[in-house]
């Protein structure tokens, strides 16, 4: 990110990470009424308090499941389920049961620098190993300071809250209790349920240093090769349809950074994708280039983890923003 930031969005989650059922509940209610968050009965509909309502609204947008648009000639803002992601998730994994879905949710959070700058910095720029929460916060603050335009400021306490949320988002509640004794910001008393992203295994307790953490690769078999392909496709140049393995490893928002993958692990995933016919690899003369032969227009189908790679193929059963309502009406939370 070369352009300097004039402002940053911090603590949009109201210090709450999303919990089991929150995203589905929010999507269902948005499908029923795009003006959900301006309704007087929004707390009753979602079954949570006012701060959690704001948190659900934030996470729906941060995960790219919904987008907010100005309506009524700019006088109000409405939520709409995204056609390229939210609608497809709603149809094929509405309960967010599949790790495949959660890895893509994680990618959209990390790559969303406008709403989740702390997450973006932590995964893309912070390389600390055996780090304490204080180490991570201090280092990420340095990165953020370098990104800020001259004269622009931000709330340091809010940034600390967001950094604290990262560890709690990817660690189980028992680990969260252990770190809360020495935490900079106390754990919110209502925040007792784990975020579903703890299942991804991307942050673990250090086995070397007490009270410290490490970034870790997903456990073997947890990260599907098509989730890797999804992220590659989101970042690949549409003009060249190629990317270097160095960029896959080191470039912001690509698979090495987003999933904490080593070069060895990346090459293993690339070989799996090559064998499956999704891409080709040129390792001659030190080129180490990856080529995706087909024009990519990713339509993610969770059932069976199928990716349609031909942009000319019609997605016959894909719901529209209107039919999303019927998808959610088939079952209740």
Lookup: tokens for 132: 């304490």
Last residue of a domain, one of 166, 197, 215: 215
Q: Which pLDDT score, from 0 to 100, does residue 286 have?
A: 79
In a domain, 230, yes or no: yes
Q: What is the pTM of this model?
A: 0.86
Tell me: do 161 and 238 sit in the same domain: no
Low-confidence ranges of the chain (pLDDT < 50): 1, 176-192, 295, 299-304, 306-323, 326, 330-333
Shared-domain flag, residues 130 and 210: yes
Residue 77 pairs in a beta bridge with: 70
The whole-angstrom separation of Cα 74 and Cα 68 is 12
pLDDT of residue 294: 60
187 within domain boundaries:
yes
Identify whether residues 115 and 200 lie together within a single domain. Answer: yes
The reply to whether 187 and 259 lie within a common domain is no
73 in any annotated domain: no
State which residues form the domain around 251. 225-293
- Does residue 319 lie within any of the structural domains? no
Residue 190 covered by a domain: yes
Domain holding 243: CATH number? 1.10.10.10
Are residues 191 and 277 both part of a single domain?
Answer: no
The answer to whether residue 327 is domain-embedded is no
Helix (H, G, I), strand (E, B) or coil at 178: helix
Residue 136 DSSP SS3: helix
Task: Tell me if 301 is assigned to some domain.
Answer: no
DSSP 8-state symbol, 270: H
Pairing of strands 242-244, 289-291: antiparallel
Claim to verify: residue 156 and residue 237 sit in the same structural domain: no
Shared domain for 206 and 243, answered yes or no, is no
Answer with the one of 193, 215, 237 that is the final residue of a domain. 215
The answer to the question of residue 114 being in a domain is yes
Q: Are 154 and 197 part of one and the same domain?
A: yes
Can you tell me whether residue 67 is helix, strand or coil? strand
**Same domain assignment for residues 114 and 169:** yes
Torsion angle, alpha carbons of 125, 128, 134, 139, to 10 = -40
- Tokens matching residue 72: 């009524």
Query: What domain count does the chain have?
Result: 2
Q: Are residues 125 and 196 located together in one domain of the fold?
A: yes
Please indicate, yes or no, whether residues 241 and 144 belong to a single structural domain of this protein: no
pLDDT, residue 324, reads 52
| The domain boundary residue, chosen from 191, 215, 239 | 215
- Beta-carbon contacts of 75 under 8 Å, excluding residues fewer than 6 positions away, are none
The answer on 199 and 127 residing in a single domain is: yes
């Amino acid at each position: 990110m070369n352009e300097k930031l004039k402002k940053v969005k911090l603590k949009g989650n109201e210090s709450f990470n999303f919990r089991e059922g929150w995203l589905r509940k929010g999507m269902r209610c948005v499908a029923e009424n795009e003006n959900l968050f301006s309704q007087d009965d929004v707390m009753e509909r979602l079954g949570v308090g006012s701060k959690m309502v704001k948190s659900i609204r934030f996470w729906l947008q941060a995960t790219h499941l919904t987008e907010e648009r100005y309506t009524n000639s700019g006088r109000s803002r409405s939520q709409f389920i995204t056609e390229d992601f939210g609608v497809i998730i709603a149809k094929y994994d509405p309960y967010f049961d599949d790790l495949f879905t959660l890895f893509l949710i994680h990618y959209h959070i990390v790559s969303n620098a406008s709403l989740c700058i702390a997450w973006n910095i932590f995964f893309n720029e912070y390389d600390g190993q055996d780090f304490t929460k204080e180490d991570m916060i201090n280092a990420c603050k340095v990165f953020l300071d370098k990104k800020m335009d001259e004269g622009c400021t931000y709330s340091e306490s809010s940034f600390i809250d967001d950094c604290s949320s990262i560890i709690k988002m990817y660690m189980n509640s028992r680990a969260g209790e252990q770190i809360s004794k020495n935490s900079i910001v106390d754990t919110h008393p209502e925040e007792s349920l784990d975020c579903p992203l703890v299942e991804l295994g991307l942050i673990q307790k250090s086995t070397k240093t007490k009270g410290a953490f490490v970034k870790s690769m997903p456990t073997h078999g947890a990260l599907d090769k098509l989730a890797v392909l999804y992220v590659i496709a989101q970042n690949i140049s549409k003009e060249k349809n190629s990317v270097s393995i160095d960029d896959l490893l080191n470039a912001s928002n690509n698979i090495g950074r987003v999933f904490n993958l080593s070069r060895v692990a990346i090459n293993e995933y690339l070989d799996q994708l090559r064998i499956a016919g999704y891409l080709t690899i040129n390792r001659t003369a030190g080129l180490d280039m990856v080529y995706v032969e087909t024009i990519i227009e990713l339509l993610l189908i969770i059932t069976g983890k199928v990716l349609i790679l031909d942009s000319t193929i019609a997605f016959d059963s894909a719901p529209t923003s209107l039919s999303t309502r019927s998808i959610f009406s088939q079952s209740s939370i």
